[in-house]
Amino acid sequence: MGQIKFAENGHREDQIRFAVECRQNLELSGTPDDELVTDLLLYLLLRDQNPSKRLEAVKLLKNSQPAQDTKMALVSSLLTDTNPGVRLKSIRLLASYDPAKVLKEACMKVLLEDDNKAVRLSAMDIMEISPDKTMIPALQVVSVLDENDFIRE
């Protein structure tokens, strides 16, 4: 399989359309809940070089049923994507998931290391949903070191 693109005709109603480069072009379509569609969106999110495709993938994942694979891909995107817009969209979608241990730990890492204040603020919002004692050290560091007054307080 070669490059995966969004089909030129765009998306219609509840259908997401892809163009997959192979020996011949192949277009696939389906609803956001189709496993193949979700897998292609996750592939684009984690592996495509084009940030606009990664942003579109996160936007379209919003319409799929929450799943563990999707959550983990969004966490991976949040922690590794070089584009702050992709990280921001990922963390905003992650806010709709249960803030379990993996998500809380990712949010603490973001709070301490991400250079984008909107992403850090979104991490704070998730952490506020279900605070616990494990967050105290990270919050203490942030309260002293973060350059953003709102985050520091």
Residue 122 exposure: Cα atoms within 13 Å on the Cβ side: 23
Question: What are the residues facing 30 on neighbouring strands?
Answer: 16
Confidence tier at 61 by pLDDT (50, 70, 90): very high
Contact (CB, 8 A) for 110 and 119? yes
Q: Which residue has the tokens 């049923």?
A: 65
**Packing angle of the helix pair 68-80, 101-113 (nearest 10 deg):** 10
pTM of the model: 0.79
Q: What mean pLDDT do residues 126-144 have? A: 77
**Interval 101-111: pLDDT, tens:** 899 999 989 98
For 83-145, the DSSP string reads -HHHHHHHHHHHTTS---HHHHHHHHHHHHH-S-HHHHHHHHHHHHHS--GGGHHHHHHHHHH
User: What is the dihedral sign for C-alpha 27, 31, 33, 34?
Assistant: negative
pLDDT at 12 over 80: no
- Phi, psi for residue 83 in degrees, rounded to 5: -95, 120
Q: What mean pLDDT do residues 111-115 have? A: 90
| Token pair for 24 | 């011949």
> Torsion-angle region of residue 13: left (phi > 0), alpha (psi -120 to 50) or beta?
left
Least confident of 41-45, 53-57, 146-150: 146-150
